Amino acid sequence: MIALLIAIPLAFAFASIPHERLGRYFLPFAALFNLVCLFFFMQPEQILEIGKWPAAYGIVLVLDSVSYPFLIFVNLLILLMSLSATLENRYGTLMLVLTAAVNGIILTGDFFNSFVFLEIISVIAYIVAAHKDNALGAFKYLIFGGIGGTMYLIGAVSVYIKAGTLNMAYASFITDPLAVPIICIFFLITFLVELKVLPLGLWAPDVYSNGSSFTPVALGSIVTVSLVYLFSRIFLNIFDLPSPELVGILAMVSIIFAELGALKQKNLGRALSFATISGISTVVAALSIQETEVVSAAYFYLFNDVISKFILFTLSAYLGKRGFKSNKTAGIAFTFASLSVIGFPMFAGFWAKYYLLKALFQVDSYALPAVILIAAVIEAGYLIRWNIDLWYKDEEESVLEHGKDTENEEGIESIEEIDDFVPFGAQVVTLILALTLVVIGFMPNLIHDQTMNIANNVLDFRPYFDLILRGGM
């Protein structure tokens, strides 16, 4: 039954080849099917041994209380993206395969299988990054990502020769004490590249700023959530993080440089991409501390960051150089999202920063809170400046300027031709997400209980291994 989460979107993808537009229409149905299956037909704590081969010999798919919330979140994001983005050519087919691959990388319990799904995600990411004539940025990403994938492969094979099997649960019983840190360094390089920690994350500004309505959302929200899950699974559950202090320092340096980089950007897309680097580096820095409260706060921060960036990137792609005067709903959503990123009270971001700082003070860590506060101040600086610029932008000149380079290909002759440059689907989705941020701002316990549950389960290895040893149902 669990395998249907991967097989059905894949079947949809193969079925959408005959006609170019089919993929775009199949995508919401595939995401909806996954969500219905997850909510009504599957409960956590079950595994599936593919082909009925026992766990160490074959591949297992694991649905436990850590992967279940991540699956729901990711499929929800895909459903929202399918409504808000304009997918042209055959990008709909690629998004269907991305759905299958992202579900696969969260469900799988086998190292080489996760490598294969990681490579599927990477190949789709290179193609999606080249949207809107951005071949140079996509090529840079290809080189970085290719090295990352190769390191992951070396790590997976090293697990095989030390543990005798490729299964994740059995891998934690490697007896050689020298082997585990070295294997983890290989995995760490991959995650530093993919999770955009500078200096290995230098591909991100070029890729995220191509002005496409779905590239930053697909890569920055959907793929990032699944890779944070994989990071937590490998480094918090199965192995231990090698030299967590070094990872923490790298992440903190990355936060500072990303915020400083965002400050002097003139292009909204590039500024937002630096903000994304800083946000995910904060999550990585928090995860490297490996205490329950901190990890739970990191997941809350991830939730807030992913949703706000979804809104910001979608709107910035559609607006181009326009302002908010003629599109008030877009402006409200944009402002709400920026305030949530900064951490204003009444929004989810405030609680994200509050829980993170409180948990960090409890474990006597003072460098990271200082860095987060400095970063918040810089963020406030440039995000508020962008908001003021966009709200007070002169309507006529921005419209005619926008007519030259837009998401829609037609030119604009006069002002009377404009109605909504932001498509209706995108408006609805961004408004819903912005309202979610406000609701969580008033009732943070809805999400905080979930993240505490995840954090408690992910740091404890016993339940995971017992689940796999017990066998499938």
Binding site for other proteins (CB under 8 A): 3-4, 7, 10-11, 14-15, 17-18, 48-54, 56-59, 89-91, 93-94, 97, 100-101, 104, 112-113, 116-117, 119-120, 122-124, 126-127, 130, 133, 135-136, 138-139, 142-143, 146-147, 149-150, 153-154, 156-158, 160-162, 164-166, 176, 178-179, 182, 185, 472
Closest CB 52 distance from other proteins, rounded Å: 5
Query: Hey, CA dihedral for 218, 219, 223, 228, is it positive or negative?
Result: negative
Nearest to other proteins of 128, 333 (CB atom): 128
Paired strand residues for 48: 61
Nearest to other proteins of 36, 182 (CB atom): 182
Residue 206 CB neighbours (<10 A) = 18
Nearest to other proteins of 16, 282 (CB atom): 16
Residue type, 449: D
Closest CB 168 distance from other proteins, rounded Å: 14
Six token digits for residue 201: 């994350």
Nearest to other proteins of 141, 300 (CB atom): 141
Six token digits for residue 187: 């995995």
Instruction: Collapse the DSSP code of 63 into the 3-class scheme (helix H, G, I; strand E, B; otherwise coil) and give the result.
Output: strand
Residues 6+ apart with CB under 8 A from 74: 102, 103, 106, 222, 225, 226
Nearest to other proteins of 242, 463 (CB atom): 242
Nearest to other proteins of 83, 154 (CB atom): 154
Using CB atoms within 10 A of its CB, is residue 330 exposed (0-12), middle (13-18) or buried (19+)? buried
Nearest to other proteins of 132, 325 (CB atom): 132
The verdict on whether omega for the bond into residue 199 sits within 30 degrees of 0, i.e. cis, is: yes
Query: Locate tokens 């249907």: which residue?
Result: 4
Nearest to other proteins of 99, 278 (CB atom): 99
- Give the whole-angstrom CA distance, residue 266 versus residue 172: 48
211: DSSP letter: -
Using CB atoms within 10 A of its CB, is residue 411 exposed (0-12), middle (13-18) or buried (19+)? exposed
Six token digits for residue 378: 């810089």
Closest CB 332 distance from other proteins, rounded Å: 33
Nearest to other proteins of 37, 432 (CB atom): 37
Closest CB 297 distance from other proteins, rounded Å: 33
Q: If we measure between CA atoms, which residue out of 173, 346, 196, 397 comes closest to residue 285?
A: 196
Closest CB 100 distance from other proteins, rounded Å: 8
Closest CB 308 distance from other proteins, rounded Å: 29
Closest CB 158 distance from other proteins, rounded Å: 7
Closest CB 147 distance from other proteins, rounded Å: 7
Residue 65 sits at the vertex; the CA angle it makes with 60 and 66, to the nearest 5 degrees, is 80
Closest CB 132 distance from other proteins, rounded Å: 10
84: Cα within 13 Å, side-chain hemisphere: 31
The helices-and-strands tally (H runs, E runs) of the chain is 21, 2
